[in-house]
Amino acid sequence: MVNEQKRFALFLATSDSTFVKKTYGGYFNVFVSTFGEDGEQWDLFRVIDGEFPDDKDLDKYDGFVISGSLHDAFGDDDWIVKLCSLCQKLDDMKKKVLGICFGHQILSRIKGGKIGRASIGLDMGLRSITMVKDAVKPGGYFGSQIPKSLAIIKCHQDEVFELPESATLLAYSDKYNVEMCSYGNHFLGIQGHPEYNKEILFEIIDRVVNLKLMEQEFADKAKATMDNAEPDRKQWQTLCKNFLKGRSEQV
C-alpha cells in the first residue's frame, strides 16, 4: 500500500518584500525549503490578503504553519479575527499548528494567554534561548540529544506575557519569559524565526532603518550579534519537522 502524500499549508501573515521575491521567489519558498520534505504537498494561503482555506478542506491537511507578521497578534483586523477563529477550529480538530513569532502569539491568544507590546521594546538579532529542564523530553521533537540552549534569529516588538494553564513552557531567555511553548501535542509556538538566515534578517533591518522606525545604532548592534555566530538552523529544522510530521510526541 502506498503511503498517502502528506499535505501542509502555510498561512502567510506578511507580504513578500522585493528582496525576498527576487532572492527566493517569496517567503513561501523560504518556509517550504526549511520545513518541507520530498513528496509533500505545500499550499499557500495569504491570510494577510484574506485568503483562507474552506472549513471543509481543513481535514485534508496534516499540519499548518503560521508565519510572522508586521501586524499585532492582539489586533482586530478582519483577517486576524478570522485567523483566530480558524485556529480555534484547528484546535478542536487537534490539527498540528506551528506558530512562528506572530503565529506563536496568535496561538497564545486563542488559548487564553496574555499577549501585547514587548515590555523591553523591539528585539532584533541573534539570541540564545534556554530550554526548560525536564519540559523537553528525550525522544521528543529534538530527538535523543536535547540542547541546553539554542541560538535563533529574533525580530519582534510584541510578546507572550503569560501562558494559559493548558500550555507547557519549553524555552525562555534573559529578555522574555516565553520563547517557546506547546499546547498538548498539536500546537507549538516559537517566538524566534527558525526559517530566517543572516541575509533575510539584515535586509529587514535595513528596511526598518530606511523607514525611520529604528536608529542606526540599534541596527548596527542587531547586526553585530551575528559577527561570530549563527543560528542553530539544523536543530530548529529537526524540531519543527518532527513536530509537524508527528514523528515523536513531546508530552
Cβ atoms 26, 20 nearer than 8 A = yes
Please tell me the predicted confidence (pLDDT) of residue 226.
Answer: 97
* Model confidence at 124: pLDDT above 90: yes
Between β-strands 114-117 and 158-162, what pairing exists: parallel, antiparallel or unpaired? antiparallel
* Model confidence at 74: pLDDT above 90: yes
* Model confidence at 231: pLDDT above 50: yes
Whole-number percent of the chain with pLDDT over 90: 88
Look-up of cell digits 529578555: 175
Give the model's confidence band at 146: pLDDT under 50 very low, under 70 low, under 90 confident, else very high.
confident
C-alpha cell at position 214: 529604528
Please tell me the predicted confidence (pLDDT) of residue 139.
Answer: 66
- What is the pTM (predicted TM-score) of this model? 0.95
Residues involved in catalysis: 101, 193, 195
Whole-number percent of the chain with pLDDT over 70: 96
Give the model's confidence band at 138: pLDDT under 50 very low, under 70 low, under 90 confident, else very high.
low
Please tell me the predicted confidence (pLDDT) of residue 134.
Answer: 80
Please tell me the predicted confidence (pLDDT) of residue 136.
Answer: 72
Cβ atoms 115, 80 nearer than 8 A = no
* Model confidence at 251: pLDDT above 60: no
* Rounded Cα distance, 239 and 157, in Å: 24
* Model confidence at 180: pLDDT above 60: yes
Give the model's confidence band at 4: pLDDT under 50 very low, under 70 low, under 90 confident, else very high.
confident
Question: What is the secondary structure of 32-66 as a DSSP string?
Answer: HHHH--TT-EEEEE-GGGT----GGGGGG-SEEEE
* Model confidence at 77: pLDDT above 50: yes
Q: For 187-200, what is each residue's pLDDT tens digit?
A: 999 999 999 999 99
The residues with which 111 forms a beta bridge, in sequence order, are none
Domain ranges of the chain: 7-245
Please tell me the predicted confidence (pLDDT) of residue 249.
Answer: 55
Instruction: Give the architecture (CATH level 2) of 7-245.
Output: 3-Layer(aba) Sandwich (3.40)
Please tell me the predicted confidence (pLDDT) of residue 1.
Answer: 45
